[in-house]
Amino acid sequence: MNKTKKLFAAIAMITLSVAAMAQTTDGKDYKPYPHMFVGAQGGGQVTLTNYDKFKIATPTASVYFGSWFTPVVGARLHVNGIWNKGGYDKGVVPEFKYNYKYITPDIDLMINLVTLFGKKDYYPVNVYLIGGIGLNYAWENDDAYAKKNVLTLAWDDNRFSHNARVGAQLDINLAKHWALNLEVDANSLSDRYNSKRGNRDDWSLTAQLGLTYKFGFKKKPAPEPEPEPEPEPEPVWATRIDTVWYDDVTYKDVTADREIKKEIFFGIRESGVTSEQEQIASVAEFLKGVTDGEIVITAYADKGTGTPKLNMGYSKSRAEKTKQALIEKGVDANMIKSVEWKGDTVQPYPDDNDKNRVSIITGHGVYTEKEKVVTKKFRTKEVRYQVQ
């Protein structure tokens, strides 16, 4: 790897390292724009030709001074130089290189692409698009002129040329006043600048690492102090007597006699009843807390099946098992006034034969309840209120 390649590799490594350490500031005590700047750059350049580009790459340096007018638009005076090389290897043995010097002052317009498309006025890392125009002055072309027998277009003494530039710069803020930048430019010069003719402009490419000092920041205006609130007038108070109505709530005992009726239906030849059935549980719950309560159990059989004798037996079994289930559920046996069975002599549901296979529990109970009594009352109170 020759010296030029090593130089570009070092520039890339330094730029990446500094980018990782770039400081972020939100500019709390100053406005980041507008401001002025001055700086210097160093790197390498090559003028494009048909000769091996790496053999004629040379160091280059720049100084510049400018201003950012807004977060997006800036301008600078940029001066670049001073070493350059050319080479020739077409039909000549041995090939030869020649040195000359140049200086290029340019006026450049700079556009910050990050703030142009971003939402803030300040970012720690920015990318500038650069376009400019200026003059190029070259001299000390003695090496090329000495080969005038081959380089018939080699110029002597000095040469003026236009310079049109387009480029880009990566700018990394290190602190409020300091920034590091990496800039790559393409410069268009008049033909014969490199002592050759190509029937088109010559092009010079530069890549430089630079350090910028920024100054001329304006301080942010101090916020307007909050106006002192006007003192509140001293209040004037008075008193009055208000009447307050309210509900006075009391409770009194009230007795109520409630009734219950539950039916337990059976299949053909069935008479089983358990204490877990919903009807048994409902009757047991009804009798809790009852004073002067009683129930009656009456069981039946349907006339459409069996014989009167069998049906009487089924209804008896249904009545007795209903009583036993109630007692198992916790009903006091003294509250069961009577247990009766009618067989098929009575059909409580004459229109539905199947429903007559039933045990019917009826009863009542006297409950004592608390009844809410609301009485409207009032009281007076002294109220203090503001009149001014």
Question: For residue 119, what is the domain's CATH number?
Answer: 2.40.160.20
Q: Could you give the percent of the chain with pLDDT greater than 90?
A: 49
Model pLDDT, residue 278: 92
- d(CA 361, CA 132) in angstroms, rounded, equals 110
Provide the 10 A C-beta neighbour count for residue 194. Answer: 30
Mean pLDDT computed over every residue of the chain: 87
Among all chains, which residue has been given the structure tokens 């709530």?
249
For the stretch 55-71, pLDDT in tens is 889 999 999 999 999 99
**Which has more pLDDT, 276 or 19?**
276
pLDDT reported for residue 21: 46
Q: Answer whether residue 10 is part of any domain.
A: yes
**CATH number of the domain enclosing 266:** 3.30.1330.60
Rounded CA separation 179/345 (Å): 115
Tokens of 46: 């090559």
For position 9, what pLDDT does the model report? 59
Task: Please name the residues in contact with 132: beta carbons below 8 A apart, sequence gap of 6 or more.
Answer: 78, 106, 107, 108, 109, 164, 165
Across the strands, what pairs with 123?
Answer: none
pLDDT digits (tens, 9 = 90+) for 289-298: 787 889 999 9
What whole-number distance in Å separates Cα of residue 166 and Cα of residue 203? 11
Does pLDDT of 24 surpass 70? Answer: no
In terms of domains, do 146 and 24 share one? yes
Which of 204, 219, 234 is at the close of a domain? 219
The pLDDT of residue 173 is 92
pLDDT tens across 218-265, in order?
Answer: 888 877 888 888 888 888 888 888 888 888 888 888 888 888 999 999
Within-domain flag for 298: yes
Task: Tell me what pLDDT residue 28 has.
Answer: 65
Tell me, what amino acid is at 183? E
pLDDT for the residue 318: 93
Contacts of 345 (CB under 8 A, 6+ apart): 308
Q: Does 182 lie in the same domain as 61?
A: yes
User: Exposure string (b/e) for 47-82, b if CB count within 10 Å is 16 or more?
Assistant: bebebeeeebbeebbbebebbbeebbbbebebebbb
Whether the pLDDT of residue 128 is over 80: the answer is yes
Mean pLDDT is lowest, of 38-47, 161-170, 172-181, 247-256, for 247-256
Whether 382 is in a domain gets the answer: no
Q: Which of 116, 127, 122 is nearest to 27 (CA)?
A: 122
| Same domain for 363 and 321 | yes
Closest listed residue to residue 362, CA positions, set 317, 319, 314: 319
For residue 288, what are the contacts with CB-CB under 8 A and spacing of at least 6? none
| 346: nearest Cα among 315, 306, 317 | 315
Q: What is the pLDDT of residue 323?
A: 93
Strand blocks (E) in 270-357: 291-299, 336-341
**Residue 327 and residue 215 share a domain:** no
pLDDT score recorded for residue 97? 87
Say yes or no to pLDDT of 202 above 70. Answer: yes
Q: Residue 169 pLDDT > 90, yes or no?
A: yes
- Domain limits at 272? 246-374
* pLDDT score of 16 more than 60: no
Write the burial class of residue 104 (CB in 10 Å: 0-12 exposed, 13-18 middle, 19+ buried): buried
What's the confidence (pLDDT) of residue 10?
55
Domain count, the chain: 2
**CA nearest 37: which of 179, 144, 139?**
179
Residue 24 lies in a domain: yes
What DSSP string runs through 187-251? EEE-TTTTS---SS-EEEEEEEEEEEEEE-PEEPPPPPPPPPPPPPPPP-EEEEEEEEEEEEEEE
In this prediction, residue 22 carries a pLDDT of 43
Give me the mean pLDDT over the 315-342 stretch.
92
Assess contact for 124 and 132: CB atoms under 8 A: no
Structure tokens at 256: 């109520």
Q: Nearest-CA neighbor of 125 among 51, 195, 234, 21?
A: 21
- Residues 272 and 67: their CA atoms lie apart, in Å, by 106
Query: What band does 23 get if pLDDT is binned at 50, 70 and 90?
Result: very low
Prediction pTM value: 0.53
- Per-residue pLDDT, averaged over 86-99, amounts to 80
Residues 63 and 209 in one domain: yes
Per-residue confidence at 300, pLDDT binned at 50, 70, 90? very high
Residues 81 and 188 in one domain: yes
Residue 301 has pLDDT above 90, yes or no: yes
252 plus 146 within the same structural domain: no
Considering the domain architecture, whether residues 73 and 194 belong to the same structural domain is answered as: yes
Q: What is the mean pLDDT of residues 5-34?
A: 58
Angle (nearest 5°) at CA 156 between 150 and 159: 120
352-379 per-position pLDDT tens digit: 999 999 999 999 988 887 888 888 888 8
Q: How many CA atoms lie within 13 A of 217 on its CB side?
A: 16
pLDDT: which is higher, 266 or 4: 266
- Are 164 and 108 part of one and the same domain? yes
Name the residue among 23, 200, 55 with its Cα closest to residue 122. Answer: 23
Is there a cis peptide before residue 82, judged by omega within 30 degrees of 0?
yes
Average pLDDT value for residue range 169-173: 95
Residue 324 burial class via C-beta count within 10 angstroms: exposed 0-12, middle 13-18, buried 19 and up: middle
Q: DSSP character for 115? A: H
Indicate whether 240 belongs to any domain: no
Report the pLDDT value the prediction gives residue 132, as an integer from 0 to 100: 95
Question: 187 and 39: one domain?
Answer: yes
In the prediction, which pLDDT does 383 show? 84
- Answer yes or no: do 170 and 304 share one domain: no
Per-residue confidence (pLDDT) for residue 93, from 0 to 100: 62
- Residues 203 and 259 both lie in one domain: no
Give the pairing type, strands 73-88 and 96-112. Answer: antiparallel
Looking at the domain assignment, is residue 226 inside a domain?
no
The per-residue pLDDT for 20 is 45
Lowest mean pLDDT among 35-44, 205-214, 249-258, 312-321: 249-258
